[in-house]
Amino acid sequence: MINQKYFLKGFKSILKIDSPAIALGCCFIAIGALFKNLGFNIQESVFSTMLTYALPGSLVMAESLLVGASLLSIFIAVWFVNARLYPMAVSLFPLMIDEKQPKWKYVLSCHFIAVSAWLIMKSNYQTIEKENRVDFWIGIGTATWTVSVLATILGFYISDYLNKDMLMGLAILNPVYFICMMVGAMKTLQIILSITLGFILGPIFYFFSPQWSILLGGFVAGSVAFLIGELNGN
């Protein structure tokens, strides 16, 4: 069974002052409004957020539907977008695995992998005993997932009161929050290099390939930062 004490502790972590809950909620308000404008009903909108959860995947799905892409194309696009969650899982789950915990908890908690929940867990895992971290993580994931679903519902019903500029403003809050969090996490050479080079290389690659600039900038920046970090013993 899930340890209620640590589950609730994780769930309540979104109430902290540095929590991504507000930024996350604002983005999913925009998603809910976008779904309604695409012709989704409330059940389809909620079901989409419940299954997709991570914000970029929802945006890609909505934009693909808007341009009339096939279901196979949408599936592949969302799959590729959410592939970015794999490195997060690789870096996070070794911190939580404990022989005393059943495997079903880890399988269940995979659904909660997203940047918002990941940031909260990475900031707090050292304060939690390893055997209780998965329960703490499930609490965090459930909380952020709940915020996303509720915000989608709210966005769906207030979409008539939101114009295009307001939707764009809401949608950009989460990326801005993540940038601020990453800057705050610049405590090692590898992180400093990866973030700094990413900011520099992204715009440079844009002039050569607008479609691939973010991917190429992130890949090159991360690779260079990793190699330099390894050479310096970091």
List pLDDT tens digits, range 46-76: 888 888 777 777 778 877 877 788 888 888 8
Full-model pTM: 0.77
pLDDT, tens digit, 9 for 90 and up, residues 184-193: 655 667 777 8
212 has pLDDT over 90: no
| AA letter at 118 | W
Listed ranges 84-88, 147-151, 198-202; the one with the highest mean pLDDT: 147-151
Nearest to 119, CA basis, from 79, 60, 177? 177
Q: Residue 197 in contact with residue 223, Cβ under 8 Å?
A: no
The overall average pLDDT reported for the chain is 83
**Which residues, at least 6 apart from 56, have a Cβ–Cβ distance to it below 8 Å?**
81, 82, 84
In this prediction, residues 117-128 reach a mean pLDDT of: 84
154 has pLDDT over 90: yes
Q: Residue 31 in contact with residue 174, Cβ under 8 Å?
A: no
Most distant CA pair in the chain: distance in Å? 55
174 has pLDDT over 70: no
Residue 135 has a pLDDT of 92
